[in-house]
Amino acid sequence: MQNNSLFLQENPQGVIFKVFVQPKSSKNMITGIYGDAIKIKLTAPPIDGAANKMCIKFLAKCLKVPKTSLEIISGHTSRTKYVLYKQKHNNKDRLEDVERFKKEFEQLLNAKKTA
């Protein structure tokens, strides 16, 4: 996998990454890369924010971070979403988190994580 192609961006509030969500799937899983986004299949329908809530819950479980540290900042009604991993660190720590996320996503994609 070429993790350089993933959208990961430092932000004053944390790290932003891009996901592409396919709702109403048979199970929750990371299926690969879609453009520069992580492609995720979710069982929840795209009704009343159910898929967004499940997206945050599933990502938090995969990344081993609290649900409250993840927030969809763009794409609430779209399949393509930008997710912020919120943190209160200095820039050096954010750079380390970007590298950690790259490695974590690479592992998740290689394992095609399900839950």
Q: What is the pLDDT along the chain (115 residues), one digit of tens a residue?
A: 344 478 888 888 888 999 999 999 999 999 999 999 999 999 999 999 999 999 999 999 998 889 999 999 999 999 999 999 887 666 566 677 777 777 887 787 777 655 5
- With vertex at residue 92, the alpha carbon angle to CA 104 and CA 107, rounded to the nearest 5 degrees, is 5
Q: 3.30.1200.10, 3.40.190.10, 2.40.10.120, 3.40.50.300: which CATH number matches 3-109?
A: 3.30.1200.10
pLDDT at 1: 38
Place of tokens 């763009």: 74
Of 97, 101, 102, 100, the C-alpha closest to 3 is 102
Angle between helices 50-63 and 91-111 (to 10 degrees): 100
